A and B are shown apart, each in its own frame.
Chain A
């Protein structure tokens, strides 16, 4: 194995000396690859091969890479010489040195002497400036004992100048009797020693002088001090006796002050600024999380605990028992940042509730009004006479808000009693009936209190089954809200009050909350599906469903890419908007509320809602009195609007008829007003949509039908002014956005079909029919390529292995031969010893 190696190296040497042309012409170097077929017009690269050249190339390459790696296999450190040109073989050593020197100069010049006018060169030794070294020595000397230092420094200097072998050489020189050279050295050293001793003495003298001077100064100062002030002199006179208690007091005071000073500012700093910042950071973190979920990139990431709760908050309903909380937050001020936050939230909530007391009534009224409206519309369309009565009733009931449900005196008395003193413990209700019985007869505020106390009494940490009970409670509360919404008139004020409770419980039991709401959604959609299967049409969702949908938006983030509750809720809204036929004004109102909800759902994520736009377009279409002209211009109109034959919102026709009977006239105008408000809400929603989708690439296509309706067909002359203004505003926005839309047309995908196409041809059969289509051919080609590459890689690996085996063998062989040589040497020496010994013995004999 060694032999061919040598040969090869010889060959390489020869080859190096030869030019490439020579090698190519040498018939012994050339291997001609036989061709099977002669193909016209094809230039093959590989008809002639140079195996020797390529082999030596490969071996060299391996030597450079693989062998190096092998040699450094178990070595964790590596020496790299970073000096200039160390690994450059082309440079002369002289050049290298010169270059290095100039670089050094350059560096120094750049760094330190930029502003040095004298341009004196600093002398260095081992990279340290000699001048500095001298100073350093001085400093060192001042502290340490002079004699030892002197000796040491002498030795040091000697070693510095003489190098490692200096002393040895000196000794050798002494032994031999001294050369002139050595002598001069010795003299030099002695001189140096003398010098240093002199210096030391000088320094000592200096030191003593300074000491004396300071002493003198002290004395002077004392004399002056007595002149300057009396107090210290008194203290001097009193000496020790009064000093001790005074110091203690003082110390104590200082310490106290110090502690107080430390405590006070920390708290002050924290409350206004840091807390705000922390709150902001928390919100930012939550917002970032929300955005991440909205984009849906890491939906399946690790399950996240509700971020709202602090780490040591074990679902224990912290918001509810404020009294327990406050001392806690005072006690551990440093650790309880989160708790402080929470407390603040509590306070906020308190504030909110405080405000809410004022607002709630209004809000409730609004809602009720709105609902009363829709209901009364329904009624009025059936019987116009009852209209006024219903309104009166409603007003009465609104005024008597807390006592609405009560009909009997007993209950009233009971309620009075309850008002004066509510019980403090409640058992968690087991079913809906119990729950309703629990809350019945109490005012909304008291209902809240009851709920809070129930939660407290049945805290999950108190008993094992309590968690389940409270989870059930959420379902009951939700159902109760639905019932409240269904009752006539709908008690939205109460629902409004109960929302915080619902939210808290939702925060405590997300799973139970999602389950309850999901089942509500499933029921509603199932009902709708059955209606559609049966009669082909389904009524719009009723008020309780609308409330549920709003609750979903309150409890869960609506902007998530996929959320187990909000996604179905949105789907349900869109389903209702597209599948339910509009047959009455109530349907229009309900649909518009759904539109609002849908817009709220997507207001952050800006997702596309085709159904919403379709519905709005349909509503506008209904408002057009002359339907014949619009047929062709509203292409995106879904089929169900055709069902609506009556001219729901034609204002002009009704206003003419208006003055027949007084009552009828009133009713008519009311209906008209309702229609107008619907239309105006619709226009408002269109405006919202425009703003929402203004960045969408297909804005023009989305809003084309609405635009044509608004600009061409909607008769605004007969409508009230407000409406006209709104319509114009909406139209203007659409117009503006349509004209200023950016270049949407063009890139859909930045890159064309890439090469991942090549790896997908899985369904290929091998045979004569192979490569029928372009894709199949392509995949065939890729397979071939892959095979080729695979084989090549395999060959390379084999060659590598062979090379490595050769190297290892060579290594072991060289090691063996070395050992053999050493053994032989030993044997030889032993033999000579033996021989000598024998000779000695022989001589003795």
Chain B
């Protein structure tokens, strides 16, 4: 038996031979191998099939391999303990059983290696199949550990296998979103999740050290996809779904403790975030930061560096960082100097046009809900919002005007903005300084909200109606902003289109598309067309 094996190991199978054997179904061969040790050499054929060009063959081979080694693991036919070299194995004194198990262990290692390489295969079917097979093998290996359980390591878990899988998933070259989303179903298992988190941390650390802090968009995108798909349990009792059941000392296992999970989660994120990120990545992270990252960290204040850095970036990123900062300030006693000044400076014309408008104004409403804010600050906010409202679209106006009214309601001393008895001979310049960054120096309290007066002649009737409210004393209960935050232009349009009333008609009879020479369109494009016609000739 052994010599035959030796011979087989030494000799290379010819290509013709391989072609012939390829026709044999790998699953049959696997069955034979499992049935009898005599057929052990057939494992080479199966492994060859793994390297095949054809996708079908590869997939069937993968399945076969998986079955084979799971069966072998169950039978404990693989060598347990520290594996020696194949050469050394040949020379060393071992009994036949040991030799067989060692041989099979080597083949197992080969197989795992090939499968890992298949994770970066060009075909998605192969990738997925390899991933499933690897996870099956990992489960089996966890159940029947190949390492000796020494006293320092209480638990058995195929850590190296998982590390390999994660390393391949986080590819630097291609976008692995599909595969990672397939992988997420394994992340539901508590122990897998735990070890994946630690391996991600290791992987990110090593990769980033190599790249010396440079941005690698594809890699970081993969990392983010994997990392953001980790759903953390909220209670200890939810930790029930394990891939590997530990026979003893289960309670001392780190993967079974929520705190350890949190710590691992936190380290993973911090490791990821401490590097430079592409700007759209910032946005993605900040969007999920407040509800899926911060609550699951054991010490959320560690995020402060990242958040302040993001807050200083400006634009939409700053808007998004606000949410995380708010949680830290609110729940974790973070003291943030010049917070309101920065918030004030976030108010730019674009704030009414960005996607995160609703979120921003929801938070701004929270921040400004305190009645202990100084008047100058509130006035500055109201004034700035009013000024910006001059360029805002109607759906934003419907939200920002009640916002301003609420500010005035909360701070009755701001009423001077609404009613300022001045004499006509006073300066007609607005004392408010739009360009001033500091709300204290903006002189908002000396001004008035005349912008709302202008908006009373806005083209949209709803806006006009809301703007006209300022003409009467404001009612005491505040208006609920939250309902108004999500209004879109499209909703406005539909609301207007739905209104079925009698339709007044134009009484001047129309004769032509461009009515005579009176219309602006006609006058403007008369010259336009004539000139272009002249140019053409």
The answer to whether A556 and B428 touch (CB under 8 A), given A745-B450, A749-B419, is no
Q: Give the total number of A-B pairs whose CB atoms are below 8 A apart.
A: 307
Nearest-Cβ distance from residue A681 to partner chain B, whole angstroms: 5
The answer to whether A568 and B428 touch (CB under 8 A), given A307-B507, A574-B459, A751-B419, is no
Is A554 engaged at the interface, CB distance under 8 Å to the other chain? yes
Is A503 engaged at the interface, CB distance under 8 Å to the other chain? yes
**A670 to B532 CA separation, bound complex (whole angstroms):** 8
User: Are A681 and B428 touching (Cβ within 8 A)?
Assistant: no
Is A609 engaged at the interface, CB distance under 8 Å to the other chain? yes
Is B535 engaged at the interface, CB distance under 8 Å to the other chain? yes
Contact code string B460-487 (vs A, CB < 8 Å = 1, else 0): 1100100000111111110000000000
User: Are B525 and A579 touching (Cβ within 8 A)?
Assistant: no
User: Are A681 and B536 touching (Cβ within 8 A)?
Assistant: no
Looking at A42-50, A90-98, A158-166, A359-367, the stretch in contact with chain B turns out to be: A359-367
User: Are A556 and B476 touching (Cβ within 8 A)?
Assistant: no
User: Are B450 and A518 touching (Cβ within 8 A)?
Assistant: no
Q: Which residues of B contact A743 (CB under 8 A)?
A: 424, 426, 428
Tell me the chain A residues, 734-780 only, with Cβ under 8 Å from chain B: 741-754, 756-757, 760-763, 774-775, 779
Nearest-Cβ distance from residue A444 to partner chain B, whole angstroms: 12
Q: Which residues of B contact A366 (CB under 8 A)?
A: 525-526, 529-530
User: Are A579 and B489 touching (Cβ within 8 A)?
Assistant: yes
Contact code string A442-461 (vs B, CB < 8 Å = 1, else 0): 00000000000000000000
Please, which residue of chain B has its CB at the minimum distance from the CB of A374? B532
Interface centre among A370, A674, A779, by most B CB within 10 Å?
A370
Is B251 engaged at the interface, CB distance under 8 Å to the other chain? no
Is B510 engaged at the interface, CB distance under 8 Å to the other chain? yes
User: Are B501 and A564 touching (Cβ within 8 A)?
Assistant: yes
Contacting residue for B520 out of A565, A600, A635, CB 8 A: A600
Contacting residue for A754 out of B434, B464, B473, B533, CB 8 A: B473
Is A696 engaged at the interface, CB distance under 8 Å to the other chain? yes
User: Are A610 and B390 touching (Cβ within 8 A)?
Assistant: yes
Nearest-Cβ distance from residue A762 to partner chain B, whole angstroms: 7
User: Are B459 and A575 touching (Cβ within 8 A)?
Assistant: no
Q: Which residues of A contact B503 (CB under 8 A)?
A: 510-511, 513-514, 556, 563-565
User: Are B515 and A747 touching (Cβ within 8 A)?
Assistant: no
Contacting residue for B350 out of A514, A638, A670, CB 8 A: A638
Q: Which residues of B contact A563 (CB under 8 A)?
A: 503-504
Contacting residue for B452 out of A560, A561, A748, CB 8 A: A748
Tell me the chain A residues, 457-503 only, with Cβ under 8 Å from chain B: 492, 495-496, 499-500, 502-503
Is B509 engaged at the interface, CB distance under 8 Å to the other chain? yes
Contact code string B405-443 (vs A, CB < 8 Å = 1, else 0): 000000010010111111010111111001000000000
**A673 to B496 CA separation, bound complex (whole angstroms):** 40
Q: Which residues of A contact B514 (CB under 8 A)?
A: 363, 367, 496, 550
Nearest-Cβ distance from residue B537 to partner chain A, whole angstroms: 9
Contacting residue for B504 out of A293, A525, A751, A754, CB 8 A: A293
User: Are A639 and B354 touching (Cβ within 8 A)?
Assistant: yes
Contacting residue for A370 out of B349, B353, B390, B525, CB 8 A: B525
Nearest-Cβ distance from residue B315 to partner chain A, whole angstroms: 9
Contacting residue for A562 out of B350, B429, B461, CB 8 A: B461
User: Are B524 and A681 touching (Cβ within 8 A)?
Assistant: yes
Interface centre among B455, B492, B513, by most A CB within 10 Å?
B513
Nearest-Cβ distance from residue B276 to partner chain A, whole angstroms: 23
Please, which residue of chain B has its CB at the minimum distance from the CB of A282? B507
Nearest-Cβ distance from residue B503 to partner chain A, whole angstroms: 4
Please, which residue of chain A has its CB at the minimum distance from the CB of B417? A748
Is A522 engaged at the interface, CB distance under 8 Å to the other chain? yes
Nearest-Cβ distance from residue A571 to partner chain B, whole angstroms: 5
Q: Which residues of A contact B474 (CB under 8 A)?
A: 753
The answer to whether A746 and B532 touch (CB under 8 A), given A303-B502, A500-B510, A753-B415, is no
Contacting residue for A698 out of B354, B424, B454, CB 8 A: B454
User: Are B500 and A748 touching (Cβ within 8 A)?
Assistant: no
Tell me the chain B residues, 506-524 only, with Cβ under 8 Å from chain A: 506-507, 509-515, 519-521, 523-524
User: Are B532 and A762 touching (Cβ within 8 A)?
Assistant: no
Is A345 engaged at the interface, CB distance under 8 Å to the other chain? yes
Nearest-Cβ distance from residue B391 to partner chain A, whole angstroms: 4
Contacting residue for A349 out of B431, B472, B511, CB 8 A: B511
Nearest-Cβ distance from residue B445 to partner chain A, whole angstroms: 13
Nearest-Cβ distance from residue B476 to partner chain A, whole angstroms: 4
Q: Which residues of A contact B475 (CB under 8 A)?
A: 757, 760
Contacting residue for B528 out of A290, A521, A677, A752, CB 8 A: A677
User: Are A367 and B449 touching (Cβ within 8 A)?
Assistant: no
Q: Which residues of A contact B528 (CB under 8 A)?
A: 370, 373, 677, 680-681
Nearest-Cβ distance from residue A275 to partner chain B, whole angstroms: 17
User: Are B393 and A578 touching (Cβ within 8 A)?
Assistant: yes
User: Are A352 and B511 touching (Cβ within 8 A)?
Assistant: yes
Nearest-Cβ distance from residue B345 to partner chain A, whole angstroms: 13
Is A506 engaged at the interface, CB distance under 8 Å to the other chain? yes
Nearest-Cβ distance from residue A694 to partner chain B, whole angstroms: 13
Q: Which residues of B contact A600 (CB under 8 A)?
A: 519-521
Tally of contact residues, A, Cβ under 8 A: 131
Tell me the chain A residues, 590-606 only, with Cβ under 8 Å from chain B: 592-593, 596-597, 599-603, 605-606
Nearest-Cβ distance from residue A693 to partner chain B, whole angstroms: 9
The answer to whether A499 and B511 touch (CB under 8 A), given A579-B489, A593-B521, A744-B450, is yes
Interface centre among B354, B494, B521, by most A CB within 10 Å?
B521
User: Are B457 and A607 touching (Cβ within 8 A)?
Assistant: yes
Please, which residue of chain B has its CB at the minimum distance from the CB of A562? B461
Nearest-Cβ distance from residue B262 to partner chain A, whole angstroms: 36
The answer to whether A296 and B461 touch (CB under 8 A), given A499-B512, A568-B497, is yes
User: Are B454 and A775 touching (Cβ within 8 A)?
Assistant: no
Contacting residue for B391 out of A571, A636, A761, CB 8 A: A636
Please, which residue of chain B has its CB at the minimum distance from the CB of A594? B521
Is A304 engaged at the interface, CB distance under 8 Å to the other chain? yes
Q: Which residues of A contact B473 (CB under 8 A)?
A: 752-754, 756-757
Is A529 engaged at the interface, CB distance under 8 Å to the other chain? yes
Q: Which residues of A contact B393 (CB under 8 A)?
A: 574-575, 578, 610-611
**A607 to B463 CA separation, bound complex (whole angstroms):** 11
Contacting residue for B419 out of A635, A680, A747, A757, CB 8 A: A747
Contact code string B342-358 (vs A, CB < 8 Å = 1, else 0): 00000011100110000
**A747 to B510 CA separation, bound complex (whole angstroms):** 43
Contact code string A660-681 (vs B, CB < 8 Å = 1, else 0): 0000000001100110010011
Nearest-Cβ distance from residue B221 to partner chain A, whole angstroms: 19
Is A620 engaged at the interface, CB distance under 8 Å to the other chain? no
**A289 to B430 CA separation, bound complex (whole angstroms):** 38
Q: Which residues of B contact A597 (CB under 8 A)?
A: 521
Q: Which residues of B contact A677 (CB under 8 A)?
A: 527-528, 531-532
Is B493 engaged at the interface, CB distance under 8 Å to the other chain? yes
User: Are B349 and A697 touching (Cβ within 8 A)?
Assistant: no
Contacting residue for A555 out of B418, B493, B510, CB 8 A: B510
User: Are B504 and A560 touching (Cβ within 8 A)?
Assistant: yes
Nearest-Cβ distance from residue A325 to partner chain B, whole angstroms: 16
Could you list 23 examples of A-B contacts with CB < 8 Å? A296-B464, A370-B532, A496-B514, A499-B510, A554-B515, A556-B504, A557-B507, A562-B461, A575-B493, A578-B353, A579-B489, A608-B459, A610-B458, A635-B348, A637-B349, A685-B524, A698-B450, A701-B451, A744-B430, A745-B429, A746-B424, A748-B419, A757-B476
Which 7 A-B residue pairings sit nearest by Cβ, starting from the closest?
Answer: A554-B510, A607-B459, A596-B521, A303-B502, A562-B461, A636-B391, A503-B510
Please report B residues at the A interface, Cβ cutoff 8 Å: 348-350, 353-354, 387, 390-394, 412, 415, 417-422, 424, 426-431, 434, 447-455, 457-461, 464, 470-477, 488-490, 492-494, 496-497, 499-507, 509-515, 519-521, 523-533, 535-536
With A600-B519, A607-B459, A774-B412 already in contact, 16 other A-B pairs whose C-beta atoms are closer than 8 Å:
A356-B512, A366-B530, A507-B505, A554-B506, A554-B510, A556-B503, A564-B503, A568-B493, A578-B353, A608-B455, A635-B434, A670-B536, A696-B454, A745-B428, A748-B453, A749-B471
